[in-house]
Structure 1
Amino acid sequence: MTALKPKIGVTVVAVLSSVLFGGMANAQDISFGKILFERSCTVCHGTVGLGDGDIGQMFQERPSNLQLLAKNNDGIFPLERVYNSISGVREIQGHGDRNMPVWGSIYEAEATPKAFHPGISAEEIVHGRILSLVYYLQSIQQ
């Protein structure tokens, strides 16, 4: 966790700049997203997002292959739907009783004590983390 601390503020600024100024995600957003994915998602979705994680295999309905999100959406990456799934705004149909943790609230709990930078709130840190994860998922599409 300590290795992530210096990157959080920079990533938030980079991601917020990307959103505010309409740019594409940069390599830093994607690499931070990969770190979050490896830390939070691989147990269910597998190391490369195929839905073959160790814990995910125990579910009645297996986790999605995250590399096929765009392909299964007429070739368009469903950015908002993915963001809302991670944040907990969107209920995951296939997960029944919410097997997927609501990462938005987990990221918020982690960010709140660290939101010490003037002008950057815990909510903005959470938003940056989720966007970094979304951008990483966008980068692994087949």
Structure 2
Amino acid sequence: MAPIRFIPLFSVLAVSACVFAQVGEKLPSGAEDFADYCSACHGEGGKGDGEMASTLAKKPADLTGLSDRNKGTFPTTQVMAKIWGYTGGKNGDAVMPNFGPLLESDLVPYDGGDGIMTPTPLRLVQIAEHLKTLQAK
């Protein structure tokens, strides 16, 4: 259950999301952003077999096994850190590109699995939620 101090934050963000949606600007879905920003390397199904994968020095991760590699639990916090760009390696030499437009979306409260509601760009949340649907059954 969310602590009481997050209820006002959630309410404001929920209302702002409704207002944003009413302006008429349609945001891409997580699947659409995945197709636009991720599938060239990770492939349409997230298996690491995108058209650009063979041109990279390191093969892109198979995103369909994230839960399996984490004892059956989707590692949301780690996935968000990777997408958001916090895990660029010791010298900032990450293969993952910067997803600037995704970071510019409205912030929504999101629990990455640690029980803490954190303001997170909506489009990153949508990609993370889409990745959950790609997990091998």
Range of TM-score over shorter length: 0.5 to 0.7
- Which of these two proteins has the greater Rg computed from alpha carbons? 2
Aligned residue in 1 for 2:114: none
Greater per-residue strand proportion: 2
- Listed one character per residue, the Cα deviations across residues 104-138 of structure 1 (whole Å, up to 9, x for unaligned) are x3423xx4xxxxxxxxxx55177100000000001
Query: Which is bigger in relative contact order (C-alpha 8 A, separation at least 6)?
Result: 1
Unaligned runs of 5+ in 2: 1-13, 19-27, 109-119
* Number of residue-to-residue matches in the alignment: 102
The alignment status of 1:107 with 2:90, answered yes or no, reads no
1:57 deviation in Å?
1.5
For the pair 1:80 / 2:77, whether they are aligned, the reply is: yes
Query: CA-to-partner distance for each residue in 1:31-60, whole Å, 9 max, x for gaps?
Result: 811011001101000111000011121112
Residue number in structure 2 paired with 1:97: 93
Q: Aligned ranges for residues 1-142 of structure 1 at < 5 Å?
A: 13=17, 32-91=29-88, 97-103=93-99, 105-108=100-103, 111=104, 122=105, 124=107, 127-142=121-136
Change (3 A) 1:66 1:92: farther
TM-score of the superposition, structure 1-length normalised? 0.62
More helix by share: 1
Conservation of the 8 A alpha-carbon contact between 1:43 and 1:56: yes
After TM superposition, what 4+ stretches of structure 1 lie above 3 angstroms from structure 2?
none
Give the unaligned 5+ runs of structure 1.
1-9, 15-30, 112-121
Q: Which amino acid counterpart does residue 32 of structure 2 have in structure 1?
A: I
Q: What is the identity, as a one-letter code, of the residue corresponding to 1:80? A: T
TM-score (norm 2): 0.64
